[in-house]
Chain A
Amino acid sequence: MSILQDLIFDYTLRNVALGCMVLGIVSGVLGSFAVLRRQGLLGDALAHAALPGVCVAFILTGLKTPVALMIGAAASGWIGLLAINQLLRRSKIDSGAALGTILTVFFGFGVVLLTVIQKSSAGTQAGLDKFLFGQAAGLVEEQVLTMAILSAIALAIVVALFKEFKVVSFDSEFAQSIAIPVHLIGSILSFLLLIAIVVGLNTVGVVLVSAMLVGPGAAARQWTDSLKTMIFIAALIGTLSGLTGAILSVTGSKIPTGPVIVLVLSAMVLISVLFGKARGVVWAALRSRRRHLAESAK
């Protein structure tokens, strides 16, 4: 019972848990669309591409204003996205190579800017590192609030444009034929994905964001064939892994929160792939075995 009490009354644990749950919901919902659109690795690329923007925002504002850093991250991620689209449109480079090139080059440039910042202001740079590499355990109320507001906006847009998102994710040619602005809707989805990424950078860091975006959606897909249900399950899985990770890491050990969340989430993905109600591997194997037995009994 003490954990429950701590969750409500302990300032640190409450912030960490809330922050991780916010991330779980927003990344679960938006990641579901990314998984369906086969953009599983786009999140990873954009998370890395956010680094230069964060650095520039830091240099310009000179303060550790979370909102400025978030705007910088989103802007830089957006530029990365445009660059990836240009590479895919104007050359024969495959999507993996385009993602990888933009990811590494942007990140490398960000590292350069990071050293510039390090030189000019030695003490303040630690905060910047935390922004990028995750600081779930050090989340303060202000950040959690900012993350929650951003996520609420993103989720409201998803609710408002749900039908459009659905059609574009499943059958963009059909969407085009019924006069849905496919390009615009795709851009809005990518922008919302960026919001989830920014929230994720704050919490689990640049490397693990990818799992938070892909994991819940990929796991939820195993339980249902309906998009709405899938999104609800994804949000649930995201929230649960966020909460469990936060509790385990804050109460149990010195292990950082981000990796614990991702490990819990990975376990959920594994369980879903094996036992998911709609597509689980185990049920499929049992079914084919039963069919086999029935046939041999004839």
Chain B
Amino acid sequence: MTAALAIALVALATSSACALCGVFLILRRLAMMADAISHSILPGLVAGYVYSQGPNLVTGFLGATASGLLTVFLVETLTKSKRVKEDAAIGIVFPALFALGVFLVTKFFDNLHLDSDAILFGVIEYSPFDKFLFGDYDLGPKSLWVLSGLVVVNALFLKVFYKELKISTFDPQLARSLGFSPSVLHYSLMALVAVTTVGAFSAVGAILSVALIIVPPVTASLLTYRLKTMIGLSLLMGASCGICGYFLATIWDVSVSGMIATTLGFAFALAFLFAPDRGVIAQVLRRRRQQTRFLAEMLVVHLQSHEGTKEEAEESRVEHLIAELKWPEYQAEKAIGVGEQLGWVVRHRDRLALTEDGRRTANVVSKR
């Protein structure tokens, strides 16, 4: 396996693992919880390393998971006490735990190759436990194993608890009446987020692993209403942006994790603008279509109300429309154009006449 292939595979595995655990997180509106957990795993990770007296995969994972769950517990306790709102609770708990982590690092790993800057930087990708750097051939495969394992674990979790997750996410009351424990599922999902973040941040850093967890499912949620499609799209987007980001970073010689996040952001922006049903452009077009349709409806109602009266000849003149309805000329032309297109009106020189269809529409509209 060449170095480049190993790195590309790690990028693929990381983004897949993250996207898998992100879907339900987004559906449960817990995106910022992922951000909080990604920081607050630090003290647990350090405690795990202290216990094993050095970087160790198993104790690190256990410690990190424990402090991830502690975060969730603390936030819930504070919120339930009704003294602090949830956003404020998250905003205070994760920095506190992160600060504790930095404190533990200085206390116990000062003799390791740790310059004070690395702590002040406060970003985990600079931390001494980052054994794996993109481009480091020797450790690449090991990280690949961990992350592939996480893909399997996350996929299994989704597969086994799919029904439970689905029901408890979309209809918590039904879930409770069916006898699932929402909090057990909640904490399992959070534990999964913690484990995935630990695995991912050795590869892409804490904040960028959050990008991989939340951006693909958020984007997918703009594109589909179906849960299964959403999972598939998240995976696809995570994987393709992971690979694209990696190659772009190699070409431009910049940070791989940063480039992956940037690629994700670009894909998100595309979906936000161009999504077929909920994209910004689709919304604008829909609104415009509704506006012109409304004009055409006004036109047929106007024509119908004067049909058969002695003013009909005068009222159906195009210029008169402009004068009486106070429509600017272009608007009148547009309404007439749409009316003709829909087969509601026909134009004889400067006179307008309703068709059968137009009369029917006018009746429907005026009853509305």
Contacts and interface: CB of A to CB of B under 8 A. Distances in A.
Q: Identify the interface centre among A40, A108, A119, A266: most chain B CB within 10 Å of its CB.
A: A108
B91 A260 contact: no
Contacts of B260: 108
Contacts of B106: 253-256
A221 to B, nearest CB: 8
A148 interface: no
Interface string B77-88: 010010111011
Interface stretch (A71-79, A98-106, A228-236): A98-106
Contact of B91 (A43, A106, A107, A254): A43
Contact of A40 (B31, B83, B87, B222): B87
A40 B261 contact: no
Interface string A28-51: 000000010011110110001000
B315 interface: no
Nearest to B264: A105
Contacts of A67: none
A85 interface: no
Contacts of A279: 83
A242 interface: no
Interface in A35-93: 35, 38-41, 43-44, 48, 87, 90-93
Interface string A112-130: 1111100100000010011
A217 interface: yes
Given A217-B88, A222-B83, A108 B265 contact: yes
Contacts of B78: 273
Interface stretch (B32-40, B185-193, B294-302): B32-40
Interface string B9-46: 00000000000000000100111111100010000000
A35 B85 contact: yes
A260 B283 CA distance: 49
A254 B103 CA distance: 10
A265 to B, nearest CB: 8
A133 B207 CA distance: 13
B263 to A, nearest CB: 9
B83 A273 contact: yes
Nearest to A273: B83
B282 to A, nearest CB: 11
Interface in B279-331: 280, 283
B31 A97 contact: yes
Interface in B94-128: 94-96, 98-100, 102-103, 106-107, 110, 116-117, 119-123
B272 interface: yes
A259 B88 contact: no
B194 interface: no
B210 A100 contact: yes
B262 interface: yes
Nearest to B261: A108
Interface string A201-222: 0000111101101110110011
Given A40-B85, A101-B214, A108-B260, A263 B100 contact: yes
B95 A254 contact: no
Given A108-B211, A133-B123, A39 B95 contact: no
A259 B120 CA distance: 9
A137 B116 CA distance: 11
A112 B88 CA distance: 30
Given A40-B90, A48-B207, A258 B99 contact: yes
B103 A259 contact: yes
A206 B126 CA distance: 14
A210 B120 contact: no
A263 B103 contact: yes
Interface stretch (B65-73, B227-235, B249-257): B249-257
Nearest to B26: A97
B7 interface: no
A112 B336 CA distance: 53
Contacts of B208: 104, 107-108, 111
Given A90-B283, A92-B278, A279-B83, A266 B261 contact: no
Contact of A215 (B81, B92, B249, B272): B92
A266 B215 contact: no
B332 interface: no
A266 B89 CA distance: 11
A276 B82 CA distance: 13
Given A97-B218, A105-B215, A109-B265, A262 B255 contact: no
Residue from B83, B102, B107 with most neighbouring chain A CB atoms (10 Å): B83
A134 interface: yes
A175 interface: no
A94 interface: yes
23 contacts: A87-B272, A90-B283, A91-B272, A97-B214, A108-B208, A111-B205, A111-B257, A126-B117, A133-B121, A133-B123, A205-B120, A205-B121, A206-B122, A207-B123, A210-B92, A211-B92, A211-B95, A218-B92, A256-B102, A256-B106, A259-B103, A260-B99, A263-B99
Q: Which 9 pairs show the lowest CB-CB distances between chains A and B?
A: A108-B261, A105-B265, A111-B258, A104-B211, A211-B95, A40-B87, A259-B99, A214-B91, A266-B96
